[in-house]
Amino acid sequence: MKWRMVALALLLALGASVLGVEVKGGGVPGSAPPQVVAASLPDGNGPAGTRPASSLSPARPATTWRVVYLTFDDGPNSAFTPQILDILRDQGVKVTFMVVGRNAQINPAVLRRIRQEGHAVGNHSYSHDYGLFRSPAGFAADLERAEAAISSITGVRPRIYRPPGGPHHLTPACREILRARGYRVVAWNVTSADTDPHGVTAEQLVRNVVEGVRNLKGNAPAIVLMHDGTQTGPGRPAPGTPGYVYLKNREATVAALPVIIRQLKELGCTFHTLDE
């Protein structure tokens, strides 16, 4: 028995040297199970040349590990929404765009492209004004105005609604209006935090999303909040201003998106739209 235990330990060590990982734990009966941890690898990814944890994960399982709904709020806009659409087309991923009615009217061609490429469209209000929840009549008017703007461009009446700021802003009267018009309210359970007023990097966004999806309990689907963003004016704001930070955040979202998709695919996630 002793020589078998020694042979097993040697085999584990040999396998670790071939795979480029370190095996921690006894690897013999009665000891802790082995743990695979990232070792330094010469691929240039991550700090000190270490490979990201996701690239050391097992091959994608035969069944879906988690369903992911990527959602993008506040657009469409002429600068960043087309870049996001290009990435989604190249990656073969469909998502849901939560559209602001006034931006749809400014960028009808972008909204038509969203629908033509198979993405879902939700109503995210016409004005994106947080004050609209104070008056049921004002809320209903804003809802209907956004609905008319979206449906006149796409030919499809939206059936999902995400309130500006999230569902906690909805009053009982607003919820009844949505119910009567056949809307389903959609929140999120993973946020990229890509509207941080202090600024955020692409690397931080990748970590926020991938770790957020990893940390969900059970088999709950992940609804991920991101932003393609509102239409902005011409020119570039001065560094240090809120407008400058906003644009840098949008650039970070575009840079992070293909990495997020790749790492979630490696985890065995599949992507769907909220109107399915």
Domain that holds residue 258: 66-271
Q: How does residue 142 score in pLDDT terms, banded at 50, 70 and 90?
A: very high
Q: What are the b/e assignments for 147-185, b being 16+ CB within 10 Å?
A: bebbeebbeeebbbbbbbeeeeebeeebeebbeeeebeb
**Short-list 45, 65, 55, CA closest to 19:** 55
Candidate list 142, 227, 228, 272, residue with the active-site label: 227
In a domain, 206, yes or no: yes
pTM value surpassing 0.85:
no
Tell which residue, 242, 276, 274, has the closest CA to residue 97.
Answer: 274
**Together in a domain, 39 and 120:** no
Residue at a domain's end among 12, 33, 56: 56
Q: Which of 269, 228, 267, 234 is nearest to 246 (CA)?
A: 228
Give residue-wise pLDDT tens across range 35-71: 222 222 222 333 322 223 332 233 344 456 899 999 9
Contact partners, residue 190, CB within 8 Å, separation at least 6:
208, 209, 212, 213, 216, 222, 223, 224, 225
Question: In terms of domains, do 138 and 23 share one?
Answer: no
Residues 238 and 119 reside in one and the same domain: yes
Confidence of residue 235 (pLDDT cuts 50, 70, 90): confident
Residue among 270, 276, 260, 274 at smallest CA distance from 54: 260
Q: Is 154 a member of any domain?
A: yes
Pair of tokens at residue 224: 């991920």
Domain tally for the chain? 2
Task: Tell me if 276 is assigned to some domain.
Answer: no
Note whether 71 and 107 are same-domain residues: yes
94 near 119, Cβ under 8 Å?
Answer: yes
The domain that contains 109 carries what CATH number?
3.20.20.370
What does 130-157 look like in DSSP terms, one character per residue?
Answer: GGGGG-HHHHHHHHHHHHHHHHHHHS--
The yes-or-no answer on residue 73 being catalytic is: yes
Question: 35 and 90: one domain?
Answer: no
104 falls in which pLDDT band (50, 70, 90)? very high
Q: What six digits make up the tokens of 47?
A: 């700090």
Percent of the chain residues topping a pLDDT of 90: 74
